[in-house]
Every structure is written in C-alpha cells, then in structure tokens.
Amino acid sequence: MKITLKTSHLKSILEVVKKGLGSGKILPITEFIEILFVDGAMFVTSTDLTTWVTYKMPYELPLEPEQELSIIVDGNKFHQLISKTNVENVEMELKGDVLLVKGNGVYEFPTLQEEFPDYFFQELYSKDSINVEKLKKAISQNEGSVATDMIMPCLTGYCVGKDITTTNSIKMTISKDVNVCDNNILIPQQVATLIQVLEDDEATISVGEGTILIDTSNITIFGPLLEGIEQYPNLDFIIQKKFEGSVDINIKNMLDILERLKIFSDPLNVNGVILDFKEHFISVYDHSQNNVERLNYVKKHKFIPYTLTVDIRFLEELLKKTSGSVATINYGDSSLIEIVGESVNHYLCLINDGED
C-alpha cells in the first residue's frame, strides 16, 4: 500500500507537528509522530504527553470500513529528511515494521509497534468563530509580561477571556477585545506557543475540566489549563489609573536609543534607564547619567515635566511587543507608566518613586 504526498505539503505538515514533540529523554514515545489513516483522512500527531498537535487532511486509502492504518516513526529524523528533500513528491510504503520513504533516494524508518498515546476530552462549553490572527497577535504582544518564575504559578500563564492579560508583577500587558471565551481561563505557555502554528482564519475553542481543545479545519491542539484562575490578581485598579502626562514616541527610535544605552548598563546592579520628559523631547539617560540621548515627541497630548526610572530591559521588551510605528507613553504616576499601542496596553513599574 503506497502513500504519495507532495513534498511541499508534507514539509508544511511536519513544520507544524514538530512543535508538539517532546524531548524523549524520559519518555521515548514523545520523540515519535503517528501518521494515521482512517475514515478517508490522514492525521499526523505529535505529543509531549501534556499537549497534542494534530494536522489533518483528506486522504483515501483502500481500507475496510472502520479499519485504520497507524504508522509511528521518529519525528525528528522524519522531519529532517523531508525538510532536505527537493523532489516534487514523496512516496511512502509500509513493509512489515519498516516504513520505506522514497524521495531523492530510498530511506528506511523503523516503526514503533505500540499504541500511540491519546487524550481524553469532555467539553464543558465552547465558542466558535474565534479570530485566529487576533488571538495570535495578542499572545505575541502579551508574551513579554508572562512570569518566568514559580513564585505565583498562575502568573506563568495567559489570563484569557474577553481580553488577554499577562503580568509578572513588574510588567503587565492587556490585549483588548480578543473575545476568546466568556469566563476567564489560564492558558499555559506551551499551549500559547502552539497557537502560533494555526493556519486558518477562524477556530473553535472548547474548554473541559482543566483542559482546552483548539480546533480548525486542518489543525487541532489539545492541552492543559493552568490552575489558579481564582488567585489571578484583579488588575482593574491599574487599568483605571489616570495619568497627567501623555506623549507619542517613535518606537524604533526609542529602541535604537535603548540598544546603545544598554552598552553602559549594569545587569548586576540597578539596570535602569532614566526618562526625563521635557517640553519637546525626552532626555534618555543610562542610570549613571553619564550618557544621554534625546528623543523628540511625535505628538504631545498632555505635557508635564517629569523624571522617572524604569528597567531598561523591560522597557525594551514591551516596546518590541508593541505593533505599529508609534506608541503613546502615559506618565506622571508615582508607581508606573503605561505604553499604549495598537490594541494593546503595557504597564511597567518604576524603579524609584518617579518624583522630581
């Protein structure tokens, strides 16, 4: 029984599925992918036993009704071979416990003779017609504010509902009106990363007991939800803050300044950058105040003279996660600043009290 696929299509499939592979150091099965033929379709699946990624497409094999063909091969090696194949089609044939792959040459892949891991999902509620591009953009924007330590495990995830919120207690990001679900849930980083492989314009998101299933016409992602949504901080008091000063800046120009001033920063000491808001520009100093550059405003909404200090790395990370060429900086609060971009609001705590 021979299986023929366009090489370009198989490359695209494996680029998606490889994102779900595990390391295999403890559980070797997580290095493998399953190629399953059943009910007139082909399903290619990878898993790290926490999350599953499946790519599906129509493909007819001469199988009996309800009969299936499962081929389990080393996912990394299979991906590496196909990525280096430059003929138009790839032909596969199962002979005993070996998969023969014919491309530029003929290659043998031993198959694993065991059942591929599956998951159990029982839906509690779902929402159709999620805008995939809006969701992917929001996750990318919010990534810079996700906590990377386990002091509060719930902060290592994305609080997803009408908006998407992330915070590590120093940085906070809100992507507005993504409209994923009516009740807030916590999506862990590994699931959020996998969402970036989705190709369709729309998706259905289904929530189970501690699990989530994201489904499109050709890709399905299954994974866990993070516990602790009840402990996730209520950040309304930050969102409702009023700022006395507000100016627009060119994002690239500020990032270029920060890149140069980082040369003089000390990651082991106070890794700050000083923003001194003047009438027509910001004076941007390194923390020693020995090095300075000037950044002219693109637009001045409300001006007050003010000086503050923030972490140079955190400011850079948030600006890099702000789409568009211009961002609004709202300032004048003694504890934080707000950076507003297209459909996103970032908040960054000050290193000092920010007073003159």
DSSP 160-188: ESSSEEEE-SSEEEEE------SS-EEE-
Please give the Cα distance from 225 to 149 (Å, whole number).
18
Question: Hey, how many other C-beta atoms are within 10 angstroms of the C-beta on 57?
Answer: 13
Which of 236, 241, 233, 251 has the alpha carbon at shortest distance from 338? 241
Distance in Å from the first CA to the final CA of the chain = 78
- Classify residue 83 by burial, with Cβ atoms within 10 Å: 0-12, 13-18, 19+: middle
C-alpha distance from residue 351 to each of 182, 275, 287, 299, 348 (Å): 36, 12, 11, 26, 9
Instruction: Tell me which residues of the chain have a pLDDT lower than 50.
Output: 353-356
What residues are paired with 272 via a beta bridge? 311
Please give the Cα distance from 311 to 309 (Å, whole number).
7
Please give the structure tokens belonging to residue 75. 């996912």
Helix (H, G, I), strand (E, B) or coil at 89: strand
Helix (H, G, I), strand (E, B) or coil at 315: helix
Beta carbons of 218 and 201 less than 8 angstroms apart: no
Beta carbons of 336 and 318 less than 8 angstroms apart: no
pLDDT of residue 353: 44
* Residue partners of 163: CB distance under 8 A and separation at least 6: 174, 175, 176, 177, 178
Please give the structure tokens belonging to residue 82. 């196909």
| Residue type for position 338 | E
Please give the structure tokens belonging to residue 241. 């803050």
pLDDT of residue 164: 97
pLDDT of residue 355: 43
Q: What is the DSSP letter of 49?
A: S
Please give the Cα distance from 172 to 318 (Å, whole number).
9
DSSP strand pairing (98-102 vs 158-160): unpaired
What residues are paired with 345 via a beta bridge? 174, 340
Please give the Cα distance from 57 to 44 (Å, whole number).
9
Helix (H, G, I), strand (E, B) or coil at 44: strand
Helix (H, G, I), strand (E, B) or coil at 269: coil
